[in-house]
Amino acid sequence: MRYFLIVICLLQSISSYSQDMEYARSIVDTLCSPHFDGRGYYDNGERRAAAFLSKEYEQIGLKSFGDNYLQEFKLTSNSIKGKIRLVVNGKKMVPGIDCLIDPSAPSYNGSSKVIYLDKDEMLNLDKFKRLLPMLANKFLIIDQTEFKEETGANKKQLNDLLLFLKFSPDIQLNGVIELVEKLTSTASQFQAKRPHVVILKEKTPKKLKKLELAIENVYDEDYQSQNVVGWIEGVVKDSFVMVVGHYDHLGRMGDDIYFPGANDNASGIAMILSLAKELAQGEKPKYSVVFICFGAEECGLVGSKYYSENPLFPLAQIKFLLNLDILGTGDDGIQVVNGSVHKDDFNRLVEINKEKDLLKEVKRRGKACISDHCFFSEQGVPSFYIYTLGGAGHYHDVNDHAENLTLREYNDLFRLLRTFILD
């Protein structure tokens, strides 16, 4: 009989374990599906994702602060739509595989001569100034891979000049091509004066002579995004633990490609929803717990900044904030931004991890204003930003697909966070 009971308990725990993973998987699969178009701005993929998350909140049974879960705000946004055509020396480049267009690009349609500028010319400012007039009506080619051995002041000068060449309205230049080893994209809030294109160096002809480019941008001055906010009432009702992360990603780049954003950050959203589901089912937590899926992170932490400036209850009532962004692997443990700022809370994470034998390592890092905890942290809200380490994680590229995501340490991380929030 006892043996029988043990077997039943074991089966139950295995089934609830796989249930959680199944739920996490289904959230990641759904958010990365073509229906959400990479959760970007101009084609409303982000908005469809927010509607989906609202439905999940409702099903879980989260409370809302107002009539619904949405906190709306506006921003400007620039994206690339339609067909992308890039031909170098007569060879057609495939968007997403060979090249990417920076989302800040304006529309452009034409062919252009090119001119190379090397690292030494950029490090010698007199030479650089003399060369500037020669750039008129040409596409400039810069080999980024040459930059990587530089450090300190040289590296800063190269990066500053690259920004100047890409974006300064004061120079005559058709556009900038950067040769890179890896293609990663971003999102843009503004429209630049000239297009900026990145091409994989290995796919580029040795001597690039001529380029044809046809792209079309869409600039929206009044794009509406939204944060999705829900909560569970605690025993101490007016003290809050916040669990946050962004659901937006880079969206589409033209008709043919989109960025699925599985690791960044469908993985974090799956964790937020899993924790919400778990906490909503159990006993009342000691403190109220707020769950926020932020919009418009990728173009500059816009959603979380907006919330921090327009909070739904005073920020001083936040006991602790956990920002979850990129949780798809964990083979080498997790990194905790602000771990060296809030030492006691960090030590508590380490202790829980040790006690329960969960992750390989819980590593501390200092302050870093690189994700949605930033504006809360700046205003004195105790915050951690947690991301997973190790494994093959994709980042801001077209291969950040659900099927490429291992979620290797998802359950261990879930148990760690659950205990940290509830204890």
CB of 265 to Zn ion, least distance (A): 4
**Size of the chain in residues:** 423
Say whether 35 sits in a helix, a strand or coil.
helix
Cα distance between residue 333 and residue 358, in whole Å: 9
Neighbouring C-alpha atoms within 13 Å toward the C-beta of 316:
0
Q: Which of 71, 104, 188, 265 binds Zn ion (CB under 5 A)?
A: 265
Say whether 219 sits in a helix, a strand or coil.
strand
Whichever of 102 and 264 has its CB closer to Zn ion, that residue is: 264
Listed ranges 170-178, 264-272, 278-286, 408-416: which one lies at the site for Zn ion (CB under 5 A): 264-272
Strand segments (E) across 209-333: 210-232, 236-246, 252-253, 257-258, 287-294, 318-324
Site string for Zn ion, 106-145 (x = CB under 5 A): ----------------------------------------
Closest CA to 102 of 209, 210, 191: 191
Whichever of 27 and 86 has its CB closer to Zn ion, that residue is: 27
* Residue 227 and residue 311 in contact, taking contact as beta carbons nearer than 8 Å: no
Whichever of 79 and 217 has its CB closer to Zn ion, that residue is: 79
Listed ranges 31-39, 288-296, 319-327, 349-357: which one lies at the site for Zn ion (CB under 5 A): 319-327
Residues between 321 and 340 with contacts to Zn ion, criterion CB under 5 A: 325
Listed ranges 68-76, 89-97, 261-269, 287-295: which one lies at the site for Zn ion (CB under 5 A): 261-269
CB of 249 to Zn ion, least distance (A): 8
The amino acid sitting at 11 is L
H or E segment and range at residue 83? strand 70-88
Listed ranges 9-17, 165-173, 217-225, 265-273: which one lies at the site for Zn ion (CB under 5 A): 265-273
Whichever of 56 and 264 has its CB closer to Zn ion, that residue is: 264
Residues between 147 and 176 with contacts to Zn ion, criterion CB under 5 A: none
Cα distance between residue 102 and residue 105, in whole Å: 6
What backbone torsions phi and psi does residue 381 show, to the nearest 5 degrees? -80, 125
CB of 175 to Zn ion, least distance (A): 28
CB of 326 to Zn ion, least distance (A): 6
Q: Which residues of 351-364 are buried (b: 16+ CB within 10 A; e: fewer)?
A: ebbeeeebbeebeb
CB of 320 to Zn ion, least distance (A): 20
Whichever of 325 and 412 has its CB closer to Zn ion, that residue is: 325
Closest CA to 302 of 166, 167, 188: 188
Whichever of 229 and 324 has its CB closer to Zn ion, that residue is: 324
Whichever of 325 and 345 has its CB closer to Zn ion, that residue is: 325
Sign of the Cα torsion 58, 64, 68, 70 reads: negative
CB of 96 to Zn ion, least distance (A): 19
Cα distance between residue 186 and residue 83, in whole Å: 19
Cα distance between residue 91 and residue 307, in whole Å: 47
Whichever of 127 and 182 has its CB closer to Zn ion, that residue is: 182
CB of 232 to Zn ion, least distance (A): 24
Whichever of 230 and 303 has its CB closer to Zn ion, that residue is: 303
Q: Which two tokens stand for residue 77?
A: 């946004």
CB of 348 to Zn ion, least distance (A): 25
Listed ranges 8-16, 32-40, 100-108, 320-328: which one lies at the site for Zn ion (CB under 5 A): 320-328
Whichever of 112 and 323 has its CB closer to Zn ion, that residue is: 323
The amino acid sitting at 414 is F
CB of 297 to Zn ion, least distance (A): 6
Q: Answer yes or no whether residue 225 interacts with Zn ion by CB under 5 A.
A: no
Other beta carbons within 10 angstroms of residue 368's beta carbon come to: 13
What backbone torsions phi and psi does residue 200 show, to the nearest 5 degrees? -65, 130
CB of 189 to Zn ion, least distance (A): 16
Cα distance between residue 21 and residue 405, in whole Å: 13
Q: Which of 264, 345, 397, 409 binds Zn ion (CB under 5 A)?
A: 264
Binding residues for Zn ion (CB under 5 A)? 264-265, 325
